[in-house]
Structure 1
Amino acid sequence: MLQSLSVENYALIDKLNIEFKQGLNIITGETGAGKSILLGALGLILGQRADISTLKNPEKNCIVEGTFNIEKMNLALFFEENDIEYEKQAVVRRLITPSGKSRAYINDTPVNLSTLRDLGLMLIDIHSQHETLLLSNQDFQLNVLDVAAGCNTLLSKYQQTFASYKKENSKLQELVEEQKKSSADFDYYTFQHQQLVDAKLTEGEQEALEEEEKELSNAEAIKVELQFCNEAISESDMAIIHSLKSCQQSLKRIKDVFHKSQSILERLDSVTIELKDISDEIEGINEKIEVNPDRLQQIKERLDLLYTLQQKHRVSSIAELISLRNELESKLSRISNFEDQIEKQRILTEELHAQAKELAYQLSDKRKNITEHIHTHIEHLLSELGMPHAKVQVEIIETELTRTGIDRVELLFSANKLLPLQNVSKVASGGEMSRLMLSIKTLLAKKGDLPTIIFDEIDTGVSGEVADKMGTIIKEVSQNIQVINITHLPQIASKGDYHFFVYKESGDAATSTQIRQLDEQERITEIAKMLSGKSLTEAAIQNAKALLKS
């Protein structure tokens, strides 16, 4: 329910605040006073596009703010999905700057226009004389059937199942496409994998081979140097060990007379033993080192293979090649298992499709069962609204599964019993369309499926008894939901629970639009003016009192 509307610096409005109530809120005023301006301002917080030409003062911001009571509207999920704090009162604000920038807020949380529009559709339904496109809208026509038939729970279950079917079907298509692509790559992956398997890769092998290659490549030079070292230590005439032995003999000759020679002698013995050990080790190493061109060639070939594989796959180690081999092995395994995966996914998708189709047929049956009631209800109201020969028929045609089920709806209409039923958008005039829409929305309102509804001069072209009946119907609608009705007919204005008057106020600098709620006496005067014009007559006043009393 719209509780209040605040407008600042919009068109002819400097600043105004309106508080609306539950029930039937009537808005009247002279032509050009600004009733349509109020709707334009309201449209801003419902997500309509902004135009800086509507700023009354081009140097100031335009601000429109609406407060809605949403306690009974089941909107908590919408607020959660859009990350907006949920409260029982929703404050929707729109700000337009002089530069043309637009900002929108819901409960002080910045939102985009799309989110604002989505919420606006759930908060307010504006019905004007020129509203014709909606009657031809498939979603609207199906919604009429679903509300009348009480399909909300079933429709919700269907849409959840249909969404699951679409999701799983997308997964199935992705798997099929991936299989096609992977099948094309299978031979390539197999070749790559087999090449790495045949290489018999071992971590640490490359480092060991590179070390062995250095040794074999320099075997002759190594043996020469080792032999030189061995000769220098123990084998030549001038070998170090021979010199040490001579030193030992000299020290032995004086050890009896020079006791310090004993410790030096012991140290020389230790050095001699160490050098002899080094000499033996060098000799052993030298014997093992061999010039082996065949083994060197084998190592070079093995290293060439490893380097080639690393360069080909753009890696720098055997560990990375092993990782790639394992990865290719996983890919090949997945490709081999695609058939099983696809079959499982196909079974799941078909099960969900069957479930969705079953629910869609249940929906279709409920829709078909309510059509006769809809025909009777709408034709009865149209008769009361001055169209006694009008005929309506809802034609349901089976289609493929969609978000709304398996039905396509066509609303057929004829205003004259002599004329055949045709698509409503092709044969209904503006006035007929307006009364038809009022009849439909009366049906929806009784089911409690509409938010606040605004009727914008839908009574244009009617008068007398038809106008009175239209007012009665609108009044009945307001028993279930809040109705704001902009009208120029006293028969309808008199039905209101609350009456607001829009007028222009001229100041020293400019003219501005204002609105105020009328008290009982002011209502009598306003309705009397609507009956007789500006020149009030006693008869008009009495008629106004009679209308209000009735």
Structure 2
Amino acid sequence: MLTELTIRDFAIIDYVSLTLKDGLTVLTGETGAGKSIIIDSIQLLTGARGSVEFVKHGAKRAEIEGLFNVEGNHSVFEKGKEFGVDIEDDGMVVLQRSITHQGKSICRVNGKLVTLGILKEFGKSLIDIHSQHETQSLMDPDRHIELLDTYAEQELKQPKQEYTKQYEKYKSLKKRYKELSDNEQEMAQRLDLLQFQWSELDEAELQPKEDEELTEERDKLSNFEKIYSGLNDTYEALYGEQKGMDWLSHAMMSLDSTADYDENYKRMSEELSNAYYMVEELTFRLSTEMEGLEFDPERLNEIEERLDEINRLKRKYGQSVEEILEHKDKVEAEINEINNKDSFLSKLEAEIEDVTEDLLLEAQHIHDIRADAAEQLVNAVHGELKDLYLEKAVFDVSVEKRKGSKDSPALNGRQVSLTSSGFDEVRFMITTNPGEPMKPLHKIASGGEMSRIMLALKQIFSRHQGITSVIFDEVDTGVSGRVAQAIAEKIFKISVNSQVLCISHLPQVAAMADTHVQIQKNVSDNKTETNAKELDKNEKIEEVARMISGSELTKTTLQNGQELLNLAESFKTSV
């Protein structure tokens, strides 16, 4: 859940710090007080596009910071491993976003600088924001397959992984087949280029690790004087009259004279003797090494020229000799393919046929799971819609095979269009009036109906998603009376499974809040500021009463506010 939210110099907000709790938190206030600005800041925190317009006038930067607490099985831990962000066992995740007055955006997760894309990946696993705009996303038929897959996420996880693996292989084979069969002129030009590359690499006669060995040899030749001086000084210090070996010999004999008197002395004498003979062996090796040293300027020039040639090839074909040799093998294989195009095309056709058969089986499996999930989703939605006074509405989920072209794969004699998600086309259908035919959701539902349908789906999906916080931004606009009460109850039910933050103008929703925060806009000395205040019990009664009456508080409106709060409390204890 989102436990702390801090906003600095954002739009008309100078500084706001909110401590958020579990359950349902409702934000209320006059229109223009800055409620939606707080939601805008959270959207930025979760990777939405920023703008210099968000920076408060006169400030250098806008800063938003959110602290989340998650449990050990949350998907955000996998995100941390994927993107190299440390998340401790206590499950604390801090998202930070700042936008400078010059428009530069800086993102951090647990203190680590990340890209906006990575911040978005973390954000969407932590917060689910639903605004009036997001409600309209239900009108987009292309989003319906995502919603159905969310509902059947566990059942589809493994089949979709298998399908994706086969689909990527299918696309790769189809692409290669197209490249080999489409354009003779392009293929001839490609063959000329490949043959040139192969000849260049073949003439170079590269050997594995050649660059490493040559670099080592060059370093030795380039530092000949330093190496010889170091070896010679070491040898002179050890070997000769009154040098190191003489003193070691003297020490060895002196210690040996004590060996008969104590086992410890004997062991030390043996250790010193071993050390003496090891150093003596080293002096012989130093002598041999110096005799073999020879400075060869011509060899150094040869090495430099060879390394220059290898580096030139690296710039064209790979970062190392091994990568260059791998590239040569690939070039040779592609030349062989082109020269034997017909046989390779036949082979590819057979591979494509096999992969397509497997792909269609996987797609059919996914289709069957979606069809079953669609039936379950329909039953669940009908139950939720009944609670929202849409009991006469009939909801359906159409799962049809997408029709393909004449070149598409055929399933049971019918061409189907394969995409990254299978061959299904999913559409949400509804009729809200008895006797009317089923129509696509986006062609029939009004704004108030869409709000209720979205809440019905969110109530269902909240049990299937691992989102820690759900945010509703005035999704209850355009409803009143018993529908408003039903929406308030539905939002509270969602908060049972997820932390919910809700901006609302409905007193029914405000009364249902576990935590009520009032957003106020103050103007002083020609300066506008937005402040947030958590209301106590009496203040909550006054705010709800004000939302009911829309005018000055009276004894009657306060009684109405108290009554609405009592009804809400009674409902909450019954859930």
Determine if the TM-score, normalized by the shorter chain, exceeds 0.5.
yes
Match of 1:391 among 394, 399, 402: 394
Match of 1:474 among 484, 491, 502: 491
Identity of aligned residues (%): 34
Residue 122 of structure 2 is aligned to residue 105 of structure 1:
no
Q: 1:541 deviation in Å?
A: 2.6
Q: Is the 8 A contact 1:175 1:338 kept in 2?
A: no
Change beyond 3 A, Cα 1:81–1:137:
farther
Change beyond 3 A, Cα 1:63–1:337:
same
Residue 417 of structure 2 is aligned to residue 415 of structure 1:
no
The aligned residue for residue 27 of structure 2 is: 27
In 2: Cα distance, 1:529 partner to 1:328 partner: 77
Q: What is the DSSP-based 3-state SS (H/G/I as helix, E as strand, rest coil) of the residue aligned with 2:496?
A: coil
Q: 1:62 deviation in Å?
A: 0.8
Q: 1:455 deviation in Å?
A: 1.2
Give CA deviations for 1:337-365 in whole Å, capped at 9, x if unaligned. 77776666665554444333323222211
The aligned residue for residue 475 of structure 2 is: 458
522-531 or 490-499, larger mean C-alpha shift:
522-531
The aligned residue for residue 403 of structure 1 is: 420
The aligned residue for residue 166 of structure 1 is: 168
TM-score by length of 1: 0.67
Q: 1:47 deviation in Å?
A: 2.1
Q: What is the DSSP-based 3-state SS (H/G/I as helix, E as strand, rest coil) of the residue aligned with 2:134?
A: coil
Change beyond 3 A, Cα 1:11–1:330:
closer
Change beyond 3 A, Cα 1:169–1:546:
same
The aligned residue for residue 83 of structure 1 is: 84
Q: What is the DSSP-based 3-state SS (H/G/I as helix, E as strand, rest coil) of the residue aligned with 2:427?
A: strand
Q: What is the DSSP-based 3-state SS (H/G/I as helix, E as strand, rest coil) of the residue aligned with 2:418?
A: strand
Amino acid of the structure 1 residue aligned with 2:363: A
Q: What is the DSSP-based 3-state SS (H/G/I as helix, E as strand, rest coil) of the residue aligned with 2:434?
A: coil
Amino acid of the structure 1 residue aligned with 2:549: S
In 1: Cα distance, 2:48 partner to 2:558 partner: 41
In 1: Cα distance, 2:332 partner to 2:443 partner: 65
The aligned residue for residue 38 of structure 1 is: 38
Q: What is the DSSP-based 3-state SS (H/G/I as helix, E as strand, rest coil) of the residue aligned with 2:457?
A: helix
Q: 1:46 deviation in Å?
A: 2.2
In 2: Cα distance, 1:141 partner to 1:165 partner: 21
Q: 1:97 deviation in Å?
A: 1.2
Q: What is the DSSP-based 3-state SS (H/G/I as helix, E as strand, rest coil) of the residue aligned with 1:16?
A: strand
In 1: Cα distance, 2:376 partner to 2:330 partner: 65
Q: What is the DSSP-based 3-state SS (H/G/I as helix, E as strand, rest coil) of the residue aligned with 1:114?
A: helix
In 2: Cα distance, 1:485 partner to 1:186 partner: 60
In 2: Cα distance, 1:473 partner to 1:330 partner: 63
Aligned length: 415
What are the within-5 Å matches in structure 2 for residues 145-160 of structure 1?
Answer: 145-148=148-151, 150-160=152-162
The aligned residue for residue 142 of structure 1 is: 145
Give CA deviations for 1:112-150 in whole Å, capped at 9, x if unaligned. 3333333333222222234344214456322332343x3
The aligned residue for residue 357 of structure 1 is: 360
The aligned residue for residue 260 of structure 1 is: none
Q: Is the 8 A contact 1:147 1:449 kept in 2?
A: no
RMSD across aligned C-alpha pairs, in angstroms? Answer: 3.3
502-511 or 519-528, larger mean C-alpha shift:
502-511
Residue 528 of structure 2 is aligned to residue 511 of structure 1:
yes
In 1: Cα distance, 2:343 partner to 2:453 partner: 56
Q: Is the 8 A contact 1:186 1:332 kept in 2?
A: no
Change beyond 3 A, Cα 1:65–1:184:
same
532-541 or 63-72, larger mean C-alpha shift:
532-541
Change beyond 3 A, Cα 1:342–1:8:
same
What are the within-5 Å matches in structure 2 for residues 102-141 of structure 1?
Answer: 102-138=105-141, 140-141=143-144
Q: Which runs of 5+ in 2 are unaligned?
A: 197-328, 403-416, 571-575
Q: 1:525 deviation in Å?
A: 2.1
In 1: Cα distance, 2:106 partner to 2:441 partner: 39
Change beyond 3 A, Cα 1:340–1:79:
farther
Q: Which has the larger radius of gyration?
A: 1
Q: What is the DSSP-based 3-state SS (H/G/I as helix, E as strand, rest coil) of the residue aligned with 1:409?
A: strand
In 1: Cα distance, 2:335 partner to 2:379 partner: 66
Q: 1:183 deviation in Å?
A: 7.8
Q: 1:480 deviation in Å?
A: 1.0
What are the within-5 Å matches in structure 2 for residues 227-246 of structure 1?
Answer: none
The aligned residue for residue 548 of structure 2 is: 531
In 1: Cα distance, 2:347 partner to 2:544 partner: 72
Q: 1:21 deviation in Å?
A: 1.7
TM-score by length of 2: 0.65
Amino acid of the structure 1 residue aligned with 2:132: Q
Q: Is the 8 A contact 1:172 1:342 kept in 2?
A: no
In 2: Cα distance, 1:431 partner to 1:328 partner: 62
In 2: Cα distance, 1:60 partner to 1:461 partner: 39
